[in-house]
Structure 1
Amino acid sequence: MSRIQLDEGPDAGMTWHFGQPLIEQRTMAAGAGAVLLSSREFFTVTGEQRLSWLHTLTTQALGSLQPGQGADALVLSPTGQIVHGFGLLDDGSTAWCWTEPGGRESLVGWLESMKFWTPVEIASRDDLRLWWLGREVSAPAEAVAARPGAVAGGSWAILPGPTDAMETIEAMETTETGQWAFEALRIAEGTPRIGLDTDAKTLPNELGLFATALDKGCYPGQETVARVHTLGRPPRRLVRLLFDGDLPQPGAEIILNDRVVGRVGTVAQHFELGPVGLALVKRSVPVNATLVVDGIAAAQEALVDPEVGEHFRPQL
């Protein structure tokens, strides 16, 4: 089995595929397979008040999580732009958290600055690895924690690492799939990666209120989120792009009538949809307009209503 590794980009060092990327996607879609997401960075939060404390600081309703439950959460600027994003799984005594590559240091630093007198402890962890498991795959006994609700109906599992990936795969009686397969199915579902499909101006409303609960108390940036939701018409909206024949480079400009109306985020070749990508485009772009990216025609599929900023709210 050949192994093709990513040599650059945020996921450098991860396995891109094992020689049959489209078959690997079918394996994932069928509920089998496992993906080692080794680029994700871990930290833990402990203390009896950990969830209520994180609840007050983030966009997500975390205070009522039960052991074995988790969620995605965002940290916003005072004016509502996304500054940090992270996943979380709580086991009843520890909140196990992970960020996108390069996101941990600044997030942990900010959380430390917000502790004040709250009795919580935050620790960066380099001894853990995040796995995606197909819905038919059970987490191995050595998993620190696991929860359903991941891409393609799968689950997240946190395992001690570094580990021998092949031994882990054999113990789970499944096959390992690569990052290409994971990215393709994630993009097809429309699930954004914070920092890759977003920029410094992104509001949660532009992502369909991804990782954001409207029915919770105040948190930094909450007034902007509530105002945009109430008045409607977020500045931009998340779309899934279907490219005609080829994939553009991430970050490429999106053109409509000789005007730049957005930039491409992540892209991948999907086993059924073909070349796909995610992007934020201006709200004023007609939902049925054909766009041009690097000279490639791109149809768009609306994930977020341009008027109310809702409709796409994956629960992860």
Structure 2
Amino acid sequence: MLSAVPVAALDPADPDAGAVAHYGDPAREQRVLDTAAGLVDRSHTGIIAIPGADRLGWLHSLTTQHLTDLAPMTGSELLVLSPHGHVEHHAVLTDDGTTTWLDTADAAGLLQFLERMRFLMRVEPADVTEDWALLSIAGPQTDEALISLGVGPMLPPDLLPVPEAKFASSSVPPRATAIYAVAALPRGGWVRRMPYGADLLVPRATVPELTEDLGLPLVGIWAFEAMRVAAVRPRAGFETDHKTLPAEVGWTAPAVHLEKGCYRGQETIARVHHLGRPPRKLVLIHLDGIATDELPARHTPVLVEGNERPVGFVGTAVRHYELGMIALAVVKQNLTAASVLRVGPSTAAVDTELTPGA
């Protein structure tokens, strides 16, 4: 019997306190995700359901994504921005033809925003986290796992390329920039094909039976996060702060339609894209692990050796089973890969092979 170690037992204040950290061997669990497929319980993630005939047009007007013609049984991603273009919320969505489901890090905050923006629209947003759970299948054998459920293989994610700066009008098709295939599950709920595998949005009461049906190794959130960091994928609240722009962390491709008008923060998005260089960038860094084997806390400052003025901050730091101590960091755009960095007592360096554009 696997021994589950809850995150809450290690750090009750951790944002993942509702998840399992690991099942006894985090390195083995990472290897499973890297070479096969595992099941990750992410049911601590917030879920918002939005039924109503106006839901897609309403979300289209409020967010960065093009959603007016989103087909039923399709998923995508979206951002809610501040008036100055800074990221306030990120969500991955599933639309089943009658309801749009959003999984997000801050369900309460996003729901509060949506409630304020309802006006006379035919929408009924509600937090349904108590009744619905998010699970993830991750790893190269995801399709085999989906076949065992009777819903695979599924079409891979369809992402539009990001146009060059000062692109010609009508260069971006009028559709969601990221389209994720969705299928109904036999026991209820849906599966959404993702770049890392697949997400399962299911009634909480069906989780034990679904887990048994899949027969996959159970994997803790630590291993899932380690794979995310190695893949340089941002996470809201970790690789973001109060002034994060979508282009800084790589969210333009999956979540921002650059020719869709009339949403909050649009002017900043357009200006940053056409200038071609956001103020900061997301990078993967290696920590030397000599001065300390403790991982740096989220939002620890990143310094250049010999200079006490921060050039960025650490988002997520993990122990990777092959790469050692690594972290995602948001740093100034002009920081070069040759810079010797310091994070707390540790020396650090940017990984130029795994970081896009470093």
TM-score, length-normalised on structure 2?
0.80
Provide the residue aligned with 1:133 in structure 2.
137
Answer whether contact 2:39 2:219 (CA < 8 A) is retained.
yes
Is contact 2:187–2:206 with CA below 8 Å preserved after alignment?
no
Q: Name the SS of the counterpart of 1:137 in structure 2.
A: helix
**How far apart, CA to CA, are the structure 1 residues paired with 2:227 and 2:274?**
32
Q: How does 1:256-295 map to 2 (within 5 A)?
A: 256=304, 257-258=306-307, 259-295=309-345
CA distance in 1, matches of 2:99, 2:334: 44
- Percent of aligned positions that are identical: 41
Q: Secondary structure at the match of 2:67?
A: coil
Aligned-pair distance for 1:163? 5.3
Superimposed CA distance per residue, residues 227-259 of structure 1 (whole angstroms, 9 cap, x where no aligned partner): 011112211111111111243222211110322
Amino acid at match of 1:185: M
Distance 1:158 1:127 in 2: 11
Which aligned pairs between 1:54-203 and structure 2 lie closer than 5 A? 54-100=59-105, 103-125=106-128, 126-134=130-138, 135=142, 136-138=144-146, 141-151=186-196, 154-161=197-204, 165=208, 167-203=209-245
Q: Which moved more, 1:59-68 or 1:48-57?
A: 59-68
Structure index of larger Rg? 2
Q: 1:150 Cα shift?
A: 4.2
Q: Spell out, residue by residue over 1:91-135, the C-alpha distance to the aligned partner (whole angstroms, 9 max, x if none).
A: 1111111111xx111211111111212111111102011000131
Q: Quick one: which amino acid aligns to residue 104 of structure 1?
A: A
1: CA distance between counterparts of 2:133 and 2:207? Answer: 11
Distance in 2 between residues matched to 1:194 and 1:119, nearest whole Å: 29
1:189, 1:168 → 2: CA distance? 27
164 and 59 in structure 1: CA distance in 2 versus 1, 3 angstrom threshold: closer
* Structure 2 Cα separation of the partners of residues 215 and 133 of structure 1: 33
CA deviation after TM superposition for structure 1 residue 30, in Å: 2.7
Asked whether the equivalents of residues 17 and 180 of structure 1 are also in contact (C-alpha less than 8 Å), the reply is: yes
Distance in 2 of aligned mates of 1:31 and 1:160: 26
Task: Specify the code of the residue in structure 2 equivalent to 1:236.
Answer: R
CA 1:218–1:164 in 2, change beyond 3 Å: closer, same or farther? closer
Unaligned runs of 5+ in 2: 150-184
Deviation of the 1:5 alpha carbon:
1.1
Aligned residues: 301
Deviations 1:260-284 (A, max 9, x none): 1111111111122211211111112
Residue 163 and residue 145 in structure 1: after superposition, are their counterparts in 2 closer, same or farther (change >3 A)?
A: closer
Q: Given the two structures, how large is their TM-score scaled by the length of structure 1? A: 0.90
Aligned-pair RMSD on alpha carbons? 1.8
Question: Which secondary structure state, in structure 1, belongs to the residue aligned with residue 125 of structure 2?
Answer: strand
Question: What runs of 5+ residues in structure 1 fail to find an aligned partner?
Answer: 307-316
